[in-house]
Structure 1
Amino acid sequence: MNLDRTNIVQTWCCSKTSKYPQQILICTHDPTEEKDDATKDAFYAELDRAYERCPSHDIKILLGDFNAKVGREASLVPPSGDLVYMRPRVHNKVVRSTGFRHLDIHSASWLSADRLTRNQIDHVVIDARHASNILDVRSFRGPNIDSDHYLVAAKIRTRLCVAKIARRSVLRRLDIGKLQSQQAKNAFATHVSGLLSRAPSIPEDISDMWALISHSLRASAEVLGFQRSVTRNPWYDQKCHDATAAKDAAYRRTLQAGATRAIVDVYRSRRRDEKRLFRRKKKEQERRGLPIPSHIEVKDAIQRLKNNKSAGANGLPAELFKAAGDMLVGSMHQPISKIWLTESMPEDWNLSMICPILKKGDATVRT
């Protein structure tokens, strides 16, 4: 469900084959107070359906941004009829995020845009009978998650299954890309034929037949070798590491007492620099990974142009490019290859004809 920044995500955390109760996490982002009643009713109706789909004997935990404060003070109690406040009581739940003694800096989970107001609006809610399973809930200001919310961590204890789970052996991926080479392809086929021909006799059982074939393929494929593990984010180099370290250092300075607006501006500047650097590195990596369009691809792109369409600012319709022949395709391939490498286009390609269509009134009169 997605109702204007409100969503419900249900995650099953334990194996369904366990004989012990499972833990089910329902992550929620509740609507704010200024939302209309129809949006709130639809959201909590979907939340009820997600909750009722969970087995009653399992441990269900609600967590996320509830957009509500809980407390005895008059300023913290939501107005009458507020579903954010009443909904945890409907299912006999306990708000455990407010049940532990912590400093104010370890209780607040949201920082306003003025960096002065801090509220605790992220909560962890659990069934009353399992309330003792949550040992502690607090927020951490140190981790930089690039959000106006602080990281909220909960310490949970539960009974685990003592039965040992046999781990399956991880199959390494074969480097089948080498089969594009005719020499490697012939060597693989020869190896498979040799193993199948050396079999003493053809098995009569169908399982034994398949075992012989799969063994021959697996043993012959080892000639090709295995794929190397792919490194994530190959564009992340020392410059990216230094930019992230500078951003984190600026963020830690904003957490210190007496942090001024200039210190906050420095952190925001470091954050913008990091994101700009990451985008540039990703773009360079993508450009290096993709080959230049070939002559055939340019020809196919020209032939796929639609007929009977209005021409651009240069007055050249698509039919002229399609009927010009192979010589034009070769001429078009050269500038397209240069555009692919330099990421710059001719000035004529940046021109366009804009024809405004007015609903009413005189087009010559500006209002």
Structure 2
Amino acid sequence: MGDMNAKLGGDNTGRELTMGREALGEMNDNGELFSDFCAFNDLVIGGSVFKHKDIHKTTWISPDGNTKNQIDFISISRKWRRSLLDTRSRRGADVGSDHYLVEGTFKVKLKASRIAGDRPQCKFNTQLLKDTTTKDTFTATVRAKQETLRDITEESCVEEHWKSLKAILNETCSTVLGRKKRQDKEWLSTDTWKLIEERRMVKEKMIQCKDGQEKETMSSTYKHWTKK
């Protein structure tokens, strides 16, 4: 998947196993190289297989809005060809580029794998032990539970003593301290999300604009927003 800078066209004569007849334009040199690469590696070019309107095949547009090409593709192993249900471009996706987002729809059956052991949990909230009352409660609870260790004979192995003590500590921590609450920090600030939304609105207006000169001006405005 990526920007191959390759045009394939709709003529797939001799390349039927590698590509379909739905690609835009005419094949160029990079298109031949890309097609040969896919044939050598037993790949199928998704963007050439599925029937869509031209606006949903276009993956790149020039700044003036006059030149449109399909040069970004998703390829898949011919073994898994039936898993690829569709590919198309998404003009509305705001990615800050003169390329459109290429979307692929897959249906894959995966075998569930078993993970040994429990999933990792949050750490116990040991900060509560700084409070005298909580600390006294924790200590008293552990001591009370330790009375049960007397039932373990001296002949018992060290491993049994350790397992019993570990169980006491875990149980006491769980009931007295509890676990820390996981706090996920926002990776983008509110101001950044606001800029992204404003840039998205500029792109929507640019796509809907019909006047060539105005569209070129809006393209420059969009690039300015992208740099922000």
Normalised by the length of structure 2, the TM-score is 0.71
Q: Which residue of 1 aligns with 2:29?
A: 78
Q: Structure 1's 269 and 68: CA in aligned 2 closer, same or farther, altered over 3 A?
A: closer
Q: Name the structure 2 match of 1:64.
A: 2
The alignment status of 1:95 with 2:45, answered yes or no, reads: yes
1:210 equivalent to 2:159? Answer: no
Distance 1:230 1:264 in 2: 40
Residues 112/265 of structure 1: CA separation in 2 closer, same or farther (3 Å cut): closer
Distance 2:25 2:189 in 1: 50
The one-letter code of the counterpart of 1:152 is: V
Kept after mapping to 2: 8 A contact 1:140/1:152:
yes
Q: Which segments of 5 or more consecutive residues in structure 2 lack a partner in the other structure? A: 12-23
Q: How does 1:18-57 map to 2 (within 5 A)?
A: none
Displacement, 1:177? 3.9
Q: How far apart are residue 155 of structure 1 and its match?
A: 1.8
Amino acid in the other structure paired with 2:69: N
Which of residues 196, 201, 208 is equivalent to 1:249? 201
- CA deviations on 1:280-310 (whole Å, 9 max, x unpaired) are xxxxxxxxxxxxxxxxxxxxxxxxxxxxxxx
Q: Would the aligned equivalents of 2:84 and 2:107 in 1 still touch at CA under 8 Å?
A: yes
What's the TM-score once normalised by structure 1's chain length? Answer: 0.47
**Cα distance 1:177–1:115, how it changes in 2: closer, same or farther (>3 A)?**
farther
Query: Would the alpha carbon gap of residues 177 and 69 (structure 1) be closer, same or farther in structure 2, given more than 3 Å must change?
Result: farther
| CA shift for structure 1 position 124 | 1.9
Secondary structure of the residue aligned to 2:186 is coil
Q: Which has the higher contact order (CA 8 A, sep 6+)?
A: 2
Who is 1:231 aligned against? 184
Q: Determine whether 1:142 maps to 2:92.
A: yes
Partner Cα distance (1:248, 1:200) in 2: 69
Aligned residues: 207
Partner Cα separation in structure 2 for residue 158 and residue 234 of structure 1 = 31
TM-superposition CA deviations, 1:256-293 (whole Å, max 9, x none): 14252333344344445xx4xxxxxxxxxxxxxxxxxx
CA RMSD of superposed structures (Å): 3.5
For 1:267, the equivalent position in structure 2 comes to 222
CA contact (8 A) 1:96 1:123 kept: yes
Q: How does 1:295-310 map to 2 (within 5 A)?
A: none
**What's the counterpart of residue 155 of structure 1?**
105
Q: 1:219 to 1:123 in 2, by over 3 A?
A: same
- Structure 2 vs 1, CA of residues 113 and 107 (structure 1 numbering), >3 Å: closer, same or farther? same
Question: Deviations along 1:123-156, whole A, 9 cap, x unmatched?
Answer: 1222334323322111101111223322111122
| CA-CA distance at 1:98 after TM superposition | 0.9
Cα pair 1:68 1:85 within 8 Å, conserved:
no
Q: Distance in 1 between matches of 2:161 and 2:207?
A: 68
Amino acid corresponding to residue 174 of structure 1 in structure 2: F
- Could you tell me how far 1:92 is from its partner in structure 2? 2.5
Q: Is the contact between residue 7 and residue 26 of structure 2 (CA under 8 Å) also seen in structure 1?
A: no
1:230 maps to amino acid = Q
SS in 2 for 1:260: helix
Alignment of 1:111 onto 2:61: yes
